[in-house]
């Protein structure tokens, strides 16, 4: 069975920074990437590159930053008053809020996002909300572990059910 639209694909991959070779993330045998094709769940060029492959096939390709997570934007860097980070007793945890730390936050509409601390001053924290992979050329290498047709329920819901997917 080959990969095309509306299939459930399991694959292993290693993602590296195409320019520096640094490893960004890697799937494990117990925890492959499982996704439904044709619904925009992954980067479009990622799907294009594995289209037509079958179980056991290997892949290696790279995606330029512009076609992946785009360029980092200054508009996504914000100064946030330090009081926001105090606990209910008014204590600021200096050991936790340090440059480089990734802090789970939510915006005014309750959306979850992660900010990376760039700088801590006496009254505010400079935080970067750009996607961690913004500006990076991505290199993917891996192999196709399983391919099956999506069920009608999965297509209706737009996601995978069962192993590696939604359990409901
Ligand atoms: Zn569902």
Measured in Å, residue 32 CA sits from the centre of ligand 1 at 19
Total domains in the fold of the chain: 2
Residue range of the domain that includes 57: 7-69+133-157
| Angle CA 159–165–168, to nearest 5 | 85
The pLDDT of residue 112: 87
Tell me the pairing of strands 138-149 and 33-36: unpaired
- Whether residue 106 is contained in a domain is answered as yes
Q: Are residues 140 and 58 in the same domain?
A: yes
Q: Are residues 37 and 56 in the same domain?
A: yes
Neighbours of 18 (CB within 10 A): 18
Backbone angles phi, psi at 111, to 5 degrees: -75, 140
Q: Are residues 115 and 145 in the same domain?
A: no
15 and 139 Cβ atoms separated by less than 8 Å: yes
Q: Are residues 64 and 84 in the same domain?
A: no
Neighbours of 7 (CB within 10 A): 19
- Whether residue 58 is contained in a domain is answered as yes
Q: Are residues 82 and 124 in the same domain?
A: yes
* Span 56-85, pLDDT tens digits: 999 999 999 999 999 999 999 999 999 999
- Whether residue 137 is contained in a domain is answered as yes
Please list all protein residues whose beta carbon sits less than 5 angstroms from ligand 1, which is an ion.
Answer: 157, 166
Measured in Å, residue 150 CA sits from the centre of ligand 1 at 12
């Amino acid at each position: 069975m080959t990969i095309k639209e509306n299939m459930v694909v399991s694959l292993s991959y290693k993602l590296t920074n195409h320019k520096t070779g640094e490893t960004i993330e890697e799937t494990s045998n117990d925890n492959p990437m499982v996704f439904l094709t044709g619904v925009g769940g992954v980067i479009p060029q990622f799907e294009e590159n594995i289209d037509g492959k079958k179980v056991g096939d290997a892949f290696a390709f790279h995606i330029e930053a512009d076609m992946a997570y785009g360029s980092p934007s200054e508009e996504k860097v914000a100064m946030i008053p330090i009081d926001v980070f105090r606990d209910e007793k008014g204590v600021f945890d200096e050991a936790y809020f340090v440059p480089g730390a990734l802090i789970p936050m939510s915006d005014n509409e309750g959306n979850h996002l992660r900010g990376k601390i760039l700088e801590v001053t006496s009254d505010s924290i400079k935080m970067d909300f750009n996607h961690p992979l913004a500006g990076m050329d991505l290199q993917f290498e891996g192999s196709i572990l399983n391919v099956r047709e999506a069920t009608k329920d999965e297509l209706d819901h737009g996601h995978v059910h069962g192993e590696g997917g939604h359990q409901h």
